[in-house]
Amino acid sequence: MRNPFRLAILFLSLISLAGCGKGEPVVKIGFVAPLTGDQAAHGTDMLRGAQLAIEQARQAGEILPGYKVELSELDDSRSPAQAVAAAKRLAADADVLAVVGHLNSSCTKPASAIYYEARLLHLCPVSSNPEISRQGFDTFYRICPTDDLQGPAGARFAFQKLGAKKIFVLDDMTTYGRGLANEFLAAAKGLGVEILGHEGITQGEKDFTPVLTKIKGLNPDLIYFAGMFPEAALLLKQKQNLGLQGKFLGGDGLFEPALIELATPEASEGMYLTTLGGDIRNLPTAQQFVREFETRYGKLGAYSWYAYEATRIALEAVRRAGRKDRAAVLAAMKGMGSYSGILGVHAFDSKGDTSLRTIGVYTIQQGKFQFVEATEG
Amino acid sequence: MILLQQILNGLTIGAVYALIALGYTMVYGILQMINFAHGEVFMIGAYVGMTVLLMAGPGSGGVLWLTAAMAAAAVACCLLGLMMERVAYRPLRAAPKLSVLITAIGLSFFLQNAVMLGYGAQDRYVPETLSVRHWGGAGGAVVTPMQGVIFAVSFLLMLGLQGMVYGTKLGRSMRAVAQDPLAARLMGIPVDRVIATTFAIGSALAGVGGVLFGVHYSTINFHDGYLTGLKAFTAAVLGGIGNLPGAMLGGLLLGLMEGLGAGYVSAQWKNVVAFAVLILVLLFRPHGLLGERLAERA
């Protein structure tokens, strides 16, 4: 064997032989969320929800006869560029039949185009920007209410329940944050609230005292922040340090226990946030999920149930398709009509959005999230 | 009152920029190289400080623990600076400047990812150490005790450094090496040891700056060194790179401009203000505010 070329051929064939002997054939559900980076706490919650759904399905029996179901999890660290790279990897993997993913709207939006081109069923658990479903992709399904419901619900709560007449709006200049802030602004203006200003802050920044000092001078009744929990934690802490009065209301990106740890319970006391859906602990259909999740992982993370629900719907579409074929899975999803899950009955409209329209409101009391109310948007 | 508050905020972050800028400027003054891993030294200082404060337990701490955290960060970053110089830069002393620059960027990535693997990628909470929330000052502006600590510590360190560079034998050696390394070596100055000491001192200052930053802003992340490091570098250029009082002035001015820009123009333009300053200084006053035109070396 002097010829290195022949040696290489032999080596390659050995590798491919090893590949052939590797157990039963698989089908995969793709999963993408930020598993590293400052928003990893959200992504980890989602991953646990998806894992629980997959394991329950395995225990219950075969989804697709002759195939083992696996979760193929990738990390986008909330970067749109990495989200697109992950989406391309999933699109290129023939074993992947459906994708559950992305946390941030700025990641979900470009990735959804790649799933559409690959004819890959895409279930979006929590990205709530309404523009995503307006792109006209028939591969896209979303199981959470959108920000054109969440923004107005927040504005109504601020005006009617908290009595806020003068509001300052901040956002994090992302697809999600800017979109939600604009929905909130439009609704608040319609209610007759005086908007003292609207400013953007940069994700990953640490010092927000200049803009908070400006807000202090305007003395608003309420500060609305459309963004994610790491920046919200800093805003709350610096607001407290500056002695800035006024209530604080945010969106669902703040629904994460890490917020209270990073901001301290003291600085986050009495803040409010809106969430995509009502109180999970009061939903009869979700009780089994809550129990199983808590016995397995301890703490119930805020986005876990959306990822759980999305993964279950993906598995149901694969089961109904009955064969390992992306087009058949898509057709099965279209034919499903409605799906009765732990969050309620989802009837998907022509854009792929769910019929669930409940927006919840939570507050933080003594270092814990407390449910306040739920409204139908 | 709002203006006074904005000025106080700006000077606080400016003092931290100044501490980091000193490290950039000292190394540049001696080696004519920009140590782009310096921001990471600052970030590692913040993590060392957090580790010490976590040992104090939640809710406790106080001035003693804060001092311990700063001392530990100074020592750890001092060692890190020595190691960086020995492992990454000294072997390249004779290499083209571009090689050194690229090594510095590589080292910066290495340190960031090492911290990410060690401490995790999520934001970490830095425990509070001082119990008083804030003092109401003149005209409604408020100062937190931590802001007071930042001002006091950074000015003392800057004064100390100035005294050392202009009043001790070591300082004289550093200035000699900065003027002409070859002549300094001929005069019997241990050039390599002086360079290593420069790295050690600059890194220790950045480490203390990291602790102050971490405690003041209460959360830290492994990529915090990147942006803050770039801004401190801007501050060093603004003041005149290679010039110690220039770095201090540049840091304070940059913090002030950033704060006033974000407060009175728009918050989303905050970083634009900082880096527009860098571009304008490079265009119209490349030697900075206090920098002097040095004779080109033969």
Neighboring chain A residues of B116 at a CB cutoff of 8 Å: 36
pLDDT digits (tens, 9 = 90+) for A198-213: 999 998 889 999 999 9
Is the Cβ pair B268, A217 closer than 8 Å? Answer: no
Is the Cβ pair A204, B213 closer than 8 Å? Answer: no
Interface residue B272 vs chain A (CB under 8 A): no
Q: What mean pLDDT is predicted for residues A35-47?
A: 91
A127 & A217 share domain: no
Q: What mean pLDDT is predicted for residues A66-94?
A: 95
- B 219-258: CB under 8 A from A: 219, 221, 223-224, 227-228, 258
Higher pLDDT, A20 or B29: B29
CATH code for position A181: 3.40.50.2300
Is the Cβ pair B219, A206 closer than 8 Å? Answer: yes
CA atoms within 13 A on the CB side of B59: 2
Instruction: Write down the pLDDT at residue A295.
Output: 94
Neighboring chain A residues of B224 at a CB cutoff of 8 Å: 206
pLDDT digits (tens, 9 = 90+) for A100-154: 999 999 999 999 999 999 999 999 999 999 999 999 999 999 999 999 999 999 9
Instruction: Write down the pLDDT at residue A21.
Output: 47
pLDDT over threshold 60, residue A15 = no
A292 & A319 share domain: yes
Is the Cβ pair B263, A204 closer than 8 Å? Answer: no
Is the Cβ pair A242, B270 closer than 8 Å? Answer: no
A229 & A176 share domain: yes
Which of A240, A315, A304 lies closest to A270 in space, CA to CA? A240
Is the Cβ pair A209, B122 closer than 8 Å? Answer: no
Cite the DSSP H helix spans in A191-256: 209-218, 229-241
- The answer to the question of residue A1 being in a domain is no
- The answer to the question of residue A3 being in a domain is no
Number of domains in chain A: 2
In this prediction, residue B287 has a pLDDT band, given cuts at 50, 70 and 90, of: confident
- The answer to the question of residue A16 being in a domain is no
Instruction: Write down the pLDDT at residue A22.
Output: 55
CB A215 within 8 A of CB A168: yes
Higher pLDDT, B292 or A84: A84
Interface residue A206 vs chain B (CB under 8 A): yes
A198 & A298 share domain: no
Is the Cβ pair A202, B270 closer than 8 Å? Answer: yes
pLDDT over threshold 50, residue B297 = no
Instruction: Write down the pLDDT at residue B295.
Output: 43
pLDDT digits (tens, 9 = 90+) for A98-110: 999 999 999 999 9
Q: What mean pLDDT is predicted for residues A174-179?
A: 96
Is the Cβ pair A264, B218 closer than 8 Å? Answer: yes
Range of the domain at A40: 24-145+284-343
What φ, ψ does residue A96 adopt, rounded to 5°? -80, 125
Interface residue B9 vs chain A (CB under 8 A): yes
Q: How far apart are CA B273 and CA B253, in angstroms?
A: 12
Q: State how far residue A33 is from chain B, nearest Cα, in angstroms.
A: 14
ipTM: 0.89
Instruction: Write down the pLDDT at residue B138.
Output: 56
Is the Cβ pair A206, B217 closer than 8 Å? Answer: yes
Q: State how far residue A86 is from chain B, nearest Cα, in angstroms.
A: 19
pLDDT digits (tens, 9 = 90+) for A337-363: 899 999 999 999 999 999 999 999 999
Higher pLDDT, A24 or A135: A135
Neighboring chain A residues of B132 at a CB cutoff of 8 Å: none
A239 & A336 share domain: no
- The answer to the question of residue A322 being in a domain is yes
Q: How far apart are CA A280 and CA A325, in angstroms?
A: 34
Residue A72 burial (10 A CB sphere; 0-12, 13-18, 19+): middle
Neighboring chain A residues of B229 at a CB cutoff of 8 Å: none
pLDDT digits (tens, 9 = 90+) for B2-42: 888 999 999 999 999 999 999 999 999 888 888 999 999 99
In this prediction, residue A75 has a pLDDT band, given cuts at 50, 70 and 90, of: very high
Cite the DSSP H helix spans in A21-146: 40-60, 80-92, 105-117
Rg of chain B over Cα atoms, rounded to whole angstroms, equals 19
Q: What mean pLDDT is predicted for residues B153-176?
A: 93
A264 & A294 share domain: no
- The answer to the question of residue A353 being in a domain is no
A367 & A264 share domain: yes
Neighboring chain B residues of A210 at a CB cutoff of 8 Å: 6, 9-10, 258-263, 267, 270
Query: The whole model's pTM is what?
Result: 0.89
A111 & A140 share domain: yes
A246 & A288 share domain: no
- The answer to the question of residue A17 being in a domain is no
The partner residue sitting opposite A262, judged by closest CB among B2, B219, B263, is B219
A57 & A138 share domain: yes
Instruction: Write down the pLDDT at residue B166.
Output: 92
Instruction: Write down the pLDDT at residue A37.
Output: 84
The letter for the amino acid at B112 is Q
Q: Comparing A355-359, A371-375, B223-227, B292-296, which segment has the lowest mean pLDDT? A: B292-296
- Interface probe, candidates B13, B218, B221, B254, chain A, greatest A C-beta count within 10 A: B218
Instruction: Write down the pLDDT at residue A305.
Output: 95
A223 & A152 share domain: yes
Ranges assigned E (strand) in A201-322: 222-226, 247-250, 272-275
SS3 content of chain A, % helix, strand, coil (to 5): 50, 20, 30
CB A365 within 8 A of CB A174: no
- Interface probe, candidates A82, A209, A237, A262, chain B, greatest B C-beta count within 10 A: A209
Q: What domains are defined for chain B?
A: 2-121+143-284 (1.10.3470)
A56: left (phi over 0), alpha (psi -120 to 50) or beta: alpha
pLDDT over threshold 50, residue B298 = no
In this prediction, residue A48 has a pLDDT band, given cuts at 50, 70 and 90, of: very high
User: CB B154: neighbour CB atoms within 10 A?
Assistant: 26
Q: How far apart are CA B11 and CA B272, in angstroms?
A: 18
A127 token code pair: 């990205």
A86 & A31 share domain: yes
Instruction: Write down the pLDDT at residue A210.
Output: 93
Is the Cβ pair B258, A208 closer than 8 Å? Answer: no
Is the Cβ pair A210, B259 closer than 8 Å? Answer: yes
Instruction: Write down the pLDDT at residue B58.
Output: 63
pLDDT over threshold 70, residue A195 = yes
CB A314 within 8 A of CB A57: no
In this prediction, residue B212 has a pLDDT band, given cuts at 50, 70 and 90, of: very high
The partner residue sitting opposite B267, judged by closest CB among A211, A258, A261, is A211
In this prediction, residue B291 has a pLDDT band, given cuts at 50, 70 and 90, of: confident
Interface residue B121 vs chain A (CB under 8 A): yes
The partner residue sitting opposite B125, judged by closest CB among A199, A202, A262, is A262
How many H helices and E strands in chain A? 13, 14
